[in-house]
Amino acid sequence: MATSPEPAPAGEVGLFDAVVNLCKRRGFVFPSAEIYGGIRSTYDYGPLGALMLRNIREAWWRAMIQERDDVVPIDAAILTNPKVWEASGHLATFTDPLVDCRNCKERWRADQIEDTCPKCGSKDLTDARPFNLMFKTFVGPVEDASAVAYLRPETAQGMFVNFVNVATTTRRKPPFGIAQLGRAFRNEITPGNFVFRTREFEMMELEFFVPPADSPRWQQYWCEERLSWYVRYGIAPEKLRLRPHDKEELSHYSSGTTDVEFQFPWGWGELEGIANRTDFDLRAHQERSGTSLEYFDQATGERYVPHVVEPAAGATRTMMAFLLAAYDEDEIGGERRAVLRLHPRIAPYQVAVLPLSKKETLTPLARDVLHRLQRRLMCEYDETQSIGRRYRRQDEIGTPYCVTVDFDSLEDQQVTVRERDTTDQTRIPIEELVGYLLARLDA
Ligand code: GAP
């Protein structure tokens, strides 16, 4: 999770503020429980944020599961037997070094500050001590040691403990993967930078099980695949890089990790880690549970514990990167506009249907167009204010296409499709509209 302290390009700090402001103003992200003053660094995803997150999940699912024949999904529980976290090493080692400022009582991650409190400037800091990042809770009504459980800090373990179940029921042999997305929880000491680091977030993880000797090759393969996924969905290649971890950065389970990094306004930051987890987890669970997690290859008579290559991404952090990469300001007809140049599959809405006027004569046709589109695409319907203002509103939330229904449409059964980035307008027969737009989603 390290963030290298390279300076941001000029003007980029303004970009962060512009995107955070847009997120709140237009309903992508709200501070959680805002009417009670919120809860530090916890966010709720509003209507546009919920749609966009869903699109990010789907884009990941499409690339990692649907378009492949060697990956299957699961959806494991968030609460699980605490022995899982003993075996995985999370109870003993999933810690950050914590220091207290004796002067202002603020707490910091020792590896993120020099020997001075960033809040009050005091040098009177405690020694660093390990702080476990897992959220603890109790299962059932009795709050004693036997009832302790943890909210998962990664989705990965649900895939390791189900390795044999999945391999057997799907008749898979390595190389094959198990993929999962869902919420994860970490009691971060210093959450911040909006949704970049939060205590509750969403992960998208693949555990790819391979014969031991093949793991370096597969790690290289997944680094390239994952980097190209971000480009496919709209981030410019020069805003992305692969960065191998130094030895001292490696997680306790990893023999080597390479991060996909994005150039955030404050410097390069991790979007995803692609780790070689070796046989660390399967072996640990095998030893702790007494259940064999070996794979037996009937063709060769070989028996081995597979090694695992893990591309692990954050959906909520990725959403922030997509927003930062897409935000732009330009001038249309002498008027300034803010525009989110989001990929059509990532944008909250793919289409907005805009009747030119609220007049009753137009409404039935406009709603008919809406209903045709809604079966295949996420649409917004807006009939308030001038058409120019409505275009601006859609540009600002990234809607790639606006469909305008006007009085000529009643005569010629055609509508105007306006494209967000170029503002070009094309007249299209209503009968051809769905096909026309679908063809452009992945163009
Ligand atoms: N199973 C491997 C694993 O958990 P990680 O690098 O700790 O690896 C994977 O997390 C991804 O999850 C990160 O690259 C990041 O995108 C996201 N992530 C991790 N901690 C996060 C946090 N506190 N808030 C938001 N996203 C986070």
Does the structure show a pLDDT above 60 at 408?
yes
Q: Which residues contact 93 (CB under 8 A, 6 or more apart)?
A: 252
pLDDT-based confidence at 94, cuts 50/70/90? very high
- 203 Cα nearest atom in ligand 1: 12
User: Omega of the bond prior to 191 within 30 degrees of 0, cis?
Assistant: no
Strand partners, 379: 351
- Cβ of 188 below 6 Å from ligand 1: yes
Does the structure show a pLDDT above 50 at 435?
yes
What three-state secondary structure class fits 13?
helix
pLDDT-based confidence at 10, cuts 50/70/90? very low
Mean pLDDT of the residues in the chain: 94
User: Omega of the bond prior to 9 within 30 degrees of 0, cis?
Assistant: no
Q: Please, are residues 243 and 268 in contact by the beta-carbon 8 Å criterion?
A: yes
- Cβ of 258 below 6 Å from ligand 1: no
Q: What is the pLDDT of residue 13?
A: 56
Does the structure show a pLDDT above 80 at 3?
no
Q: What is the pLDDT of residue 1?
A: 37
Q: Please, are residues 186 and 133 in contact by the beta-carbon 8 Å criterion?
A: yes
Instruction: Give the predicted TM-score (pTM) of the model.
Output: 0.94
Bridging pattern class, strands 43-45 and 129-132 = unpaired
Read off the pLDDT of residues 412-426 as tens digits, 9 standing for 90 and up.
Answer: 999 999 999 999 999
pLDDT-based confidence at 8, cuts 50/70/90? very low
- Cβ of 311 below 6 Å from ligand 1: no
Distance between CA atoms of residues 208 and 219, nearest Å: 9
Q: Which of 101, 130, 141 is nearest to 118 (CA)?
A: 101
Does the structure show a pLDDT above 70 at 95?
yes
Structure tokens at 284: 């640990």
Does the structure show a pLDDT above 70 at 249?
yes
Structure tokens at 127: 């020694």
Q: What is the pLDDT of residue 112?
A: 86
50 alpha carbon – ligand 1 mean position (Å): 19
Q: What is the pLDDT of residue 266?
A: 93
- Cβ of 208 below 6 Å from ligand 1: no
- Cβ of 312 below 6 Å from ligand 1: yes
- Cβ of 314 below 6 Å from ligand 1: yes
What three-state secondary structure class fits 1?
coil
Structure tokens at 56: 């990010």
Distance between CA atoms of residues 118 and 107, nearest Å: 10
- Cβ of 320 below 6 Å from ligand 1: no
Q: What is the pLDDT of residue 40?
A: 84
- 259 Cα nearest atom in ligand 1: 14
Read off the pLDDT of residues 25-44 as tens digits, 9 standing for 90 and up.
Answer: 999 999 999 999 999 889 99
Read off the pLDDT of residues 154-167 as tens digits, 9 standing for 90 and up.
Answer: 999 999 999 999 99
249 alpha carbon – ligand 1 mean position (Å): 14
Read off the pLDDT of residues 61-85 as tens digits, 9 standing for 90 and up.
Answer: 999 999 999 999 999 999 999 999 9
- 154 Cα nearest atom in ligand 1: 4
Distance between CA atoms of residues 258 and 224, nearest Å: 11
Q: Please, are residues 186 and 85 in contact by the beta-carbon 8 Å criterion?
A: no
Q: What is the pLDDT of residue 12?
A: 58
